[in-house]
Structure 1
Amino acid sequence: MKQGQIIRSFRQLTREALDPDQPIVTLFSGGLDSSYLLLRLKAAGFSDIHAVSVDIGEDESSEHKQRIADELGVRLHIIDGRQAFIDEFVRPAIAAQAVYLDTHPVSSTLSRPLIARLAVELAQQLGATAVVHTANRSQNTLRRLNGALALLGFAGHYGSPYDLDPVDREQKILELKEVGLDQMSERIVSGDSNLWCREFESGILDDPEDHAVPEHMYRWSAARPGLTAESLEVRFHEGVPVALDGVQLPLRELVAELNTRVGAYGLGRYSGLEHLDNGEKVLEIREMPAAWLLLRTYRHLETATLEAETMREKMHLEQLWVREALEGRWYGELRLALQSFIDTCAVRVTGTVRWQLTVGGAETRSIVADDPRYLRDREAWEEHSILAESAAYLTV
């Protein structure tokens, strides 16, 4: 795609650059940046603005988003992407052990390509000339969305005006207040949430050398006094979690239940640094109880069912998978090729792991593979192995 089609500043959202009477699609979360973008587009004279919000289990309510859209006079499209997110993005991420540099499971890396795809589909239906989002250059979302939009082959303009034209937070709050939207001043961090993860960054969490998340911001892993130890059994079939405690569940329901049950023990909190496009690092805080348990369960069953050499190669390729997804190349050929290898390995990963959960920790109590490579009686194996080797020697 031509460089001129990438939007990087508010100066490009003008009558000279885009036809204000043609439909334009914006990604809308209901937060400060996306609300301010709608305000600027209205002020620039755009008359057919379509704010698209993809529901992947975020904290912001649809009613909140609708109020902002109504106040600004734009059309809101809420697209239910929850099932697609779980099936097409979370499922392969579990099999890929998608953990960034052994620090934290990836999250927005999984959601951004889906959001981009659904936005492009809507833009094509509307005949929109542009898909605009609000990521800035201190957010990895910038290259993930732009990368996905490019690989999806969107023919119009796309990108974020905040890339080259950041706007001071207080200025955005002030201008939104002037049109009756005064609830934005309450935000003390930037949040991103979905069925797989709740994430916090920026604001009071900007400084890696001095940060603490207020306890009230956690939901799944908030402290619950009086908990006793709990046994929990997870079953996988061909690399996909399918049951809890012997009860078959769709993956989406299984993830939701684990987030609350595992989170109750204070498990699944992460803090870590991620690199930006030029190598600088930024702090990100997450709570991901279901991911915490499912990734560990998968690794146990994988180790029980795959050959050691296959495991070694897969563990090497996992970080290539993470890199490609992280850098905005979810729809690229290398990530897709890696997924083929990972899915081939996943076919063997069938079995059950029983955990004992306690406050702040978890231990396995049983690892059962349907087609295991492990020994259950070492002495019997040694005796059989020696006898077999002796018989072969005598035959020679």
Structure 2
Amino acid sequence: MSDIKKIVLSYSGGLDTSIILKWLQQQYQAEIVTFTADLGQGEELEPARKKAEMMGVKQIYIDDLREEFVRDFVFPMFRANTLYEGTYLLGTSIARPLIAKRLVEIAHETGADAVAHGATGKGNDQVRFELAVAALDPKLQVIAPWRIWDFKSRTDLIDFAEKNQIPVAKDKRGEAPFSVDANLLHSSSEGKVLEDPAVEPPPYVYMRTIAPEDAPDIATYVEIGFEKGDPVSIDGVHLSPAALLTKLNDLGRDNGIGRLDLVENRYVGMKSRGVYETPGGTILIAAHRAIESLTLDREAAHLKDSIMPRYAELIYYGFWFAPERLMLQALIDTSQTHVEGTVRLKLYKGNVIVVGRSSPKSLYSDALVTFEDDRGAYDQKDAAGFIRLNALRLRTLAARDHKRD
């Protein structure tokens, strides 16, 4: 411990990370630098600065990373139509590599020897943070207090806070009904009242969407424009990445879109139940698949779909900076060269319905698919040879098997 002189702490300003801050000061006798990321979680961040100052921190970083988060992390992920285990849009997973990246950058700027995080020893986040740090700077030490301190209960934490003059709000003295993680892409709720997967989540768990049954009885129409696989406009108005996702979140919220009740397989080996709200992302992935349906070649689209589960696992497991993720990203990004155009959607009571799509790079041909006179664009007689050649191996197998009979 005496070798560590300065530590950069990922700091939310909440009770747990404030306890971690004081614990690090006491255990390591080191200078602490705090880093608080604005990823669009919707909370006021200045209280984190004031609390860090109160606890003697001299170097305090509060960074607005919303545009970088959406542009360099969310959008590349959505180019792959990424879903973990078929349903989860990876809202928590995709935020961790950015936080870790900035932790490492601040460590370099301040000459720190170590970084610290508040992830517990049962979750995925500890893995994601530490794999990212290992990839970006293997010389940095990583401190995970939840894995090494002696606190056994919430009472122990509260006692430590009171002994060290760390303010404890009244609503923090008891066990929280569930834990929440949020950013511009989603909110995630887990634990306590949500631990029994057979019990429907209580309505108060949802914070980013209205219930579908409470959504308007009139549908909302929206048009999303794409360039090279990324959304760039809503209803013809060009927006920055963060502003565009914010607008889609508003539309999704007001129409009851984006709720997910999921039992997932954590990387550390256990199953967990989570309730996720991803209103804008749910709209976006439907729109992206729709524009790809016009502009991607069949085999390119099928290849993308085949690698997507592996790509999703890499993000969920924490391998954003690993060479295999970068290789898959290069393939995915190459596929997006001609993915441009507009998609028209109808939003109605929790549903995202594609009602139109158009593109100057479209591969859809009226001349080929029409039931009317196709003017020689497609000779139906050619299909007979195509079928016969594709059936050759099936006829060969059948002939062999019939001989045995």
TM-score (structure 2 length as normaliser): 0.85
Q: Is the Cα–Cα contact under 8 Å of residues 228 and 339 in structure 2 kept in the other structure?
A: yes
2:155 is aligned with 1:170? yes
2:331 is aligned with 1:341? yes
Residue 290 of structure 1: CA displacement?
0.8
User: Structure 2: where are the runs of 5+ without partners?
Assistant: 386-405
Residue 349 of structure 1: CA displacement?
1.0
Query: Aligned pair in 2 of structure 1 residues 64, 211: CA closer, same or farther (>3 Å)?
Result: farther
Equivalent pairs counted in the alignment come to 374
| Distance (Å, rounded) in 2 between the aligned partners of 1:280 and 1:47 | 35
CA RMSD of aligned residues (A): 2.4
| Distance (Å, rounded) in 1 between the aligned partners of 2:117 and 2:25 | 15
| Distance (Å, rounded) in 1 between the aligned partners of 2:70 and 2:248 | 14
Q: 2:132 aligns with which of 148, 154, 170?
A: 148
Query: Partner of 1:181 in structure 2?
Result: 167
Q: 1:111 aligns with which of 95, 99, 111?
A: 95
Residue 215 of structure 1: CA displacement?
2.8
Which letter maps to 2:158? I
Q: Is the Cα–Cα contact under 8 Å of residues 128 and 319 in structure 2 kept in the other structure?
A: yes
Q: Is the Cα–Cα contact under 8 Å of residues 237 and 349 in structure 1 kept in the other structure?
A: yes
SS at match of 1:367: strand
Q: 1:195 aligns with which of 180, 184, 197?
A: 184
2:58 is aligned with 1:68? no
Which letter maps to 2:298? A
Which letter maps to 2:161? L
| Distance (Å, rounded) in 2 between the aligned partners of 1:380 and 1:278 | 58
Query: Aligned pair in 2 of structure 1 residues 309, 138: CA closer, same or farther (>3 Å)?
Result: same
Query: Partner of 1:44 in structure 2?
Result: 27
**How does 1:1-396 map onto structure 2 within 5 Å?**
17-19=1-3, 22-44=5-27, 46-75=29-58, 76-165=60-149, 167-178=152-163, 179-183=165-169, 184-185=172-173, 187-215=176-204, 217-221=206-210, 226=216, 228-376=218-366, 378-380=370-372, 382-386=374-378
Query: Partner of 1:6 in structure 2?
Result: none
SS at match of 2:363: coil
Query: Partner of 1:5 in structure 2?
Result: none
SS at match of 1:100: coil
TM-score (structure 1 length as normaliser): 0.87
| Greater Cα shift, 160-169 or 267-276 | 160-169
Q: Is the Cα–Cα contact under 8 Å of residues 305 and 348 in structure 1 kept in the other structure?
A: yes
Query: Aligned pair in 2 of structure 1 residues 292, 225: CA closer, same or farther (>3 Å)?
Result: closer
Query: Aligned pair in 2 of structure 1 residues 26, 387: CA closer, same or farther (>3 Å)?
Result: closer
Query: Partner of 1:10 in structure 2?
Result: none
Query: Partner of 2:399 in structure 1?
Result: none
Query: Partner of 1:7 in structure 2?
Result: none
Q: Is the Cα–Cα contact under 8 Å of residues 133 and 160 in structure 1 kept in the other structure?
A: yes
Q: Is the Cα–Cα contact under 8 Å of residues 100 and 319 in structure 1 kept in the other structure?
A: yes
Q: Is the Cα–Cα contact under 8 Å of residues 197 and 288 in structure 1 kept in the other structure?
A: yes
Residue 129 of structure 1: CA displacement?
1.3
Q: Deviations over 1:35-89 (max 9, x none)?
A: 2211212333625111111111123321231232133222431122112111110
Q: Deviations over 1:247-274 (max 9, x none)?
A: 1112211100110112211101112123
| Distance (Å, rounded) in 1 between the aligned partners of 2:191 and 2:130 | 21
Which letter maps to 1:169? R
Query: Aligned pair in 2 of structure 1 residues 73, 208: CA closer, same or farther (>3 Å)?
Result: farther
SS at match of 2:255: coil
Q: Deviations over 1:281-318 (max 9, x none)?
A: 11222111110011011111112111221111111111
Q: Deviations over 1:7-50 (max 9, x none)?
A: xxxxxxxxxx2346x22111112233312211212333625111
Which letter maps to 1:182? V
Tell which structure's C-alpha radius of gyration is larger. 2
| Distance (Å, rounded) in 2 between the aligned partners of 1:221 and 1:322 | 28
User: Structure 1: where are the runs of 5+ without partners?
Assistant: 1-16
| Distance (Å, rounded) in 1 between the aligned partners of 2:319 and 2:29 | 31
SS at match of 1:385: coil
| Distance (Å, rounded) in 1 between the aligned partners of 2:162 and 2:210 | 34
Query: Partner of 1:8 in structure 2?
Result: none
Q: Deviations over 1:195-225 (max 9, x none)?
A: 1111111232233233514436413446766
SS at match of 2:285: helix
